[in-house]
Structure 1
Amino acid sequence: MKLTVFGATGGIGQELVKQALAAGHEVTAVVRDPARLTVTGERLEVVRADLKDPESLRPAVAGRDAVLSGLGARKKADAGIATELTRSVLKAMEAEGVRRLLVVSAAPVGPQPADSPMVDRLMLKIVGAVLKDVYVDLAAMEAELARSVTDWTSVRPPRLQDKPVTGSYRTVVGGFPRAGRYAGRADVAHAMLAMVDDPATVKQGVGVAY
């Protein structure tokens, strides 16, 4: 497949690029600073673009089978960027007639299991209060997805870890795994790539956790 990855210099983004190349896909990595992308490969094209300008993004998404995005706030001060940049990606995709889009969101944005342990519900409230602006941004991003004509999927992991890909994780379409407290960035990327051609995940939020 021909894939485009936004946020390719982030933790999940670099894993998306690396794993997609290893699987034999052609990858276009859209970045603001090419020097921060440590992944290399014969089937990799690195594009520097203004992520706030939909017109500049059109060549990067034209003719692609799917677009994957790890765009989002890296700190509280960046809250709002996920919605703004995803809106640009959506406009570029719609202009080029590209439909499949997968983005990284977060577990607190979606519904929690009805039988979620008390400790998990308590931690969710605490984290939600501390990172309120970030989650408001992600919820607004998901609202933009819902209004779009794309075949979107919002992938919602809990607290992220840096660890090698295992391929052993749980996913719940439209919900979240019970007592799912962690997910490795590499496994979130693995899950996203597996969902690209999974029709059950289209126009759905998908919880991913160990």
Structure 2
Amino acid sequence: MKLCILGATGRVGQYFTKMALQDEIRVSALLRDPEKLPHSILSQISFTKGDVLSKESVTEAMAGCDVVFSGLSTDGANVLSEGMPIIIEAMKKEGISRIITIGTAGILQSRTEPHLLRYQSSESKRKLTRAAEDHQKAFTQLQESGLNWTIVCPTYLPDGEPTGTYRTEKDVLPIDGSKISTGDTAHFAFSLLRKNDFPASRVGIAY
């Protein structure tokens, strides 16, 4: 298997990349700033220097890959919603059908108001919704893409090593879920590489 990783320098992306290398999976990463990745990781992967808003860079990074993982954040702008159409187009060009991404619990369905997403409902304590809105746009783009996608949606995301012990639930956040570490979010996302659980689904994850 050859894996294209977007967002490899991020908090979840670095854990995911380490797991792939430990599993002897070939990794091709798209890196805006390669120096942000420890040399111990950088020396084991192939990479394209560029960003997700460059069609040429994205297509180059995906060449010969079987699966795409994206740990991209909104980055204070509209990176997800502007980059996702480029990612989808490049995947189709390269004949890649499977993508696993990291989203936010805000785009899961609300339990108290099921017709709303969590960020739109009283469940959300966040006053600023810009990031969730950008995640929602990317979610909609994946829904319409015809690809085999899964969006892993963590709630409060402190740094932490993977334990392998957590709860997941399709489309909603597990009851009373309040946090999940970066390591365990990567652990669950990585587990999806070997099985086709949660196709075309959002998945809430929490302890």
Query: Partners in 2 of 1:94 and 1:13 — Cα distance?
Result: 23
Which is further off, 134-143 or 200-209? 200-209
Q: Which protein has the bigger helix share?
A: 1
Q: Please name the residue that 1:101 is paired with.
A: 99
Q: Where do 1:1-210 residues align within 5 Å? A: 1-38=1-38, 39-40=40-41, 43-74=44-75, 78-114=76-112, 124-127=123-126, 129-130=127-128, 132-210=129-207
Change (3 A) 1:124 1:81: farther
Deviation per residue, 1:60-85 (Å, 9 max, x gap):
112212100011224xxx23211112
* One-letter amino acid matched to 1:17: T
**TM-score under structure 1 length normalisation:** 0.88
* One-letter amino acid matched to 1:23: D
Query: Partners in 2 of 1:100 and 1:170 — Cα distance?
Result: 23
Displacement of 1:184 in angstroms is: 0.6
Residue pair 1:71, 1:85 contacting (<8 A) in 2 also: no
Query: Partners in 2 of 1:7 and 1:159 — Cα distance?
Result: 19
Q: Where do 5+ consecutive residues of structure 2 fail to align? A: none
Displacement of 1:200 in angstroms is: 2.8
Q: How many residues in Structure 1 have an aligned counterpart in Structure 2?
A: 202
Displacement of 1:45 in angstroms is: 1.4
Displacement of 1:41 in angstroms is: 6.3
Query: Partners in 2 of 1:51 and 1:42 — Cα distance?
Result: 22
Identity value in percent: 30
Query: Partners in 1 of 2:186 and 2:20 — Cα distance?
Result: 9
Query: Partners in 2 of 1:181 and 1:84 — Cα distance?
Result: 30
SS where residue 15 of structure 2 aligns? helix
